[in-house]
Structure 1
Amino acid sequence: MSADVSTISDRVADARMTTARRVLLIAGILLVAANLRGALTAVGPLMETIRRSEGLSAGQAGLLSALPLLTFAVFSPQVPKVARRVGMERLTWYALLTLAAGIVLRSVPVTGLLWLGTVLLGMAIAVGNVLLPALLKRDFPDRVAPMTSLYSVTMGVVGALVSGLAVPLAGVLPGGWRMALGCLAGLALIGFAVWAPQALGRQAQPVVPTVDAAGAPWRSALAWQVTAYMGLQSFGFYIVLAWFPAIMNDNGISEENSGWLLLLLQVLGVTMSAAIPLVANKMRDQRLLATGGSLMSLCGYAGMLVAPGLAVLWAVVVGLASGICFVLALLFFTLRAADSFGAAALSGMAQSIGYLFATTGPVLFGALHDWTHGWSLPLAVLMAAALAQAAVGLGAGRALTVH
């Protein structure tokens, strides 16, 4: 009898330990996600202040904004290879420490460190971008959709909060913009501490992928469709983020109200990021969502062109559409992969090419505006990209696996 009681007690203790580890893993994943946008979104509102402080030209400021995306493009394909050597947990842990170092270096008043710190934090964020879908595929195979919802919402909320608080913090902190950006290192260090049990308690495992994870995506038509979907939705999102307020200003809406509309757009995107994975998980495939969200974006862009006075309506439409398309792009990395290494390889490929393509968006859009002195041609290009995204979504949304 006492032996039975002892066995039951041991099982209860093991169950509690397993639950505690799982909660700690989820907390760690969400803290990693919380660090993937703030270091980037904080720069935009402070850019003019940084320009004046550092004596940057408009071109240099544009390069500073694009540098993290260029770093993603270069470094993302290398992440799966490194992860297979050192383990996904260890590499994620090192990335959080590198992120903290990059944020601090970016804030130090020494010539060149602004650029070096930006490159380092871009490399660190690339690791998190690529490996989070792979970790979800491996550790939550039956809960990929809700976990994707959780981490994408965390990214969006923290990114929006940091963006909104950047200027007020720069105004009250003794170091100005440097301290406002530098304090984000604290969030990275918290993530580093919480992730430590994962990195130290689980060694890199000799898992044999079910596909040639490093090479398979580059030879797969399905992987290229997922990549194109990722690139086109990022292309549109970064254009809207950069130019939506200017379009509204030129149509008689004040800068303050344009800013509020952009905030509304982003909040609605976060809302959809929470809901769509749960819906997508119950569907046979995601073609309807992928194509429907893209066509919804097209309608919003068309509305901005033909009826700019209905700015609130178009902010709502584009915001909802951007949330649908963004979270689907993330979800495809896990749904279309055979295993965690396949998810990492697909994520690395899609984010590398996708972000490289996305960097051209705001520049091309602005150049077309300067050339035509209007918004008709730029918005027409944006609509064409949304139409292409809808077509690609028919392929990326199929219930198939990359082989």
Structure 2
Amino acid sequence: MNLRAGIAGLGPVLGDVLASFNASGNLAGIITAMPGAFFAVMGLSAVPIARRVGLSRTLWLGMAMTLIGTAFRPWVNSAWPFMALTAFVVAGIALSNVLLPAWIKLHGGRNIVTLMTLNTTLLGASGAVGPLSALFVDGDDGWRHALFFWVWIAIAQVAVWAIVALRTGFDFPDSAQQPEAEPGKKKRRPASLFSSPTAIFLMVFFGLQSMNAYIQMGFLPQILIDAGTSQAKASIALAVVGAMNILGGIVMPPLIDKVASLAPYILAIAGFAVIGYLGILLAPTSGTLIWSAILGLGGWAFPGALALIVARSREPEVTARLSGFVQPVGYLFPMVGPLIVGAVYTPQAPNWAGIIIALIIASVIQGLVGARAARRFFVDDELARR
């Protein structure tokens, strides 16, 4: 439940944070880009760390980092400590996001689809409830209490995963489980995932949908506020986007497991994103919650991408490698996207039209790339042919 709230909860109060620190739109871009940046950096580190200490212990470490950032971030009085503690929040979230699919693949047994559905559903729920904390506070420092609200879930996560880590011990599907090389022959190095077309298409698909998602989480409330919507309604709008993602978390994993041709569904999801952006561009105040709900349907690309990481790999070790490739490299997109938005955004004279049009174009490309990633190929097989 805390794998998105620490990020989604910032969007509705971003303007208050900037005002409190007397900061410009560039700071908004940096803060909103931090999830992508740290997801990329920590994502690249996640599998090596897990190989050394185990999946469960690394997941616990990520949740402990999130707890530290969530507990102390709201109470600082300048931008630099705020960004440093935000780094703790998103770095911990990154470790958890990258490794959970591999953990499910290793420990799920016959319940892999059920656990993946639960994972993506709770991710959607976290994104839905995250913005709502802004509704219960007001005043100049209300944003501090809104961000601190989620510390209790962070504490619970650390406690639960401490028990899991103690019970499972070291758990990583290392190469010892693979066939040994013949005597006198060197063990073959695993092929690079860049040699797998499916892995590359899945990475680009994941990157584009993540860029859309994090720009929405960081800037959608501000887009609506600048268009004349109240902060409360803007918070609810972002929560609606997250609520629709809950449905996506329930629907997409079993759909991917059972349907032979997913391309039409991936294209339809991208179409919803295009329609939602067009609505916000042309009529942001008259149909705010409708456009938000449609954007939320476009957000089904996220649980779809996570489920595809599991569905397009056979062995747990390949799942871990694929997750450690798709997510960190893909998160370069949401690192660059928000930085550009922050550089273009001027709080004193906001103009969002060009940014929304760019997001529409990105959504079209996302649909085309995702349709290819959804074809029934396995990364294991593509790597074996290299």
Contact map agreement 1:71 1:119 (CA 8 A) in 2? yes
- Matching residue within 33, 43, 47 for 1:80: 47
Q: Distance in 2 between matches of 1:182 and 1:241?
A: 18
Report percent identity of matched pairs: 28
Moved more, 218-227 or 152-161: 152-161
- Matching residue within 321, 327, 330 for 1:345: 321
Contact map agreement 1:213 1:345 (CA 8 A) in 2? no
- 1:376: how far off? 5.1
Counterpart position of 1:146: 114
Deviations 1:351-375, CA, capped at 9 Å, x for gaps: 22222212333444566687x9865
Q: Distance in 2 between matches of 1:184 and 1:56?
A: 25
Q: Distance in 1 between matches of 2:329 and 2:360?
A: 21
- Matching residue within 203, 215, 219 for 2:169: 203
- Matching residue within 60, 84, 105 for 1:93: 60
- 1:323-402 matches, cutoff 5 A: 324-365=300-341, 377-402=354-379
Change (3 A) 1:62 1:253: closer
Change (3 A) 1:159 1:281: same
Change (3 A) 1:261 1:165: closer
Counterpart position of 1:8: none
Larger radius of gyration: 1
Contact map agreement 2:261 2:374 (CA 8 A) in 1? yes
Q: Distance in 1 between matches of 2:250 and 2:2?
A: 18
Q: Distance in 1 between matches of 2:109 and 2:98?
A: 17
Counterpart position of 2:8: 41
- 1:68-147 matches, cutoff 5 A: 68-109=35-76, 112-147=80-115
Q: Which has the higher contact order (CA 8 A, sep 6+)?
A: 2
Contact map agreement 1:294 1:389 (CA 8 A) in 2? yes
- 1:146: how far off? 2.5
RMSD of aligned residue pairs (Cα, Å): 3.3
TM score, norm. by length of structure 2: 0.81
Counterpart position of 2:185: none
Unpaired segments ≥5 residues, structure 1: 1-33
Deviations 1:325-373, CA, capped at 9 Å, x for gaps: 1110111111122322322222222222222212333444566687x98
- 1:11-22 matches, cutoff 5 A: none
Please state if 1:226 is matched with 2:194. no
- 1:395: how far off? 1.7
Q: Distance in 1 between matches of 2:283 and 2:364?
A: 20
- 1:213: how far off? 9.7
Change (3 A) 1:142 1:213: farther
Moved more, 152-161 or 329-338: 152-161
Instruction: Look up the equivalent residue of 2:315 and give its one-letter code.
Output: D
- SS of alignment partner, residue 56 of structure 1: coil
- 1:215: how far off? 5.7
- 1:160: how far off? 2.7
Contact map agreement 1:77 1:345 (CA 8 A) in 2? no
Q: How many residues align?
A: 366
Instruction: Look up the equivalent residue of 1:164 and give its one-letter code.
Output: L
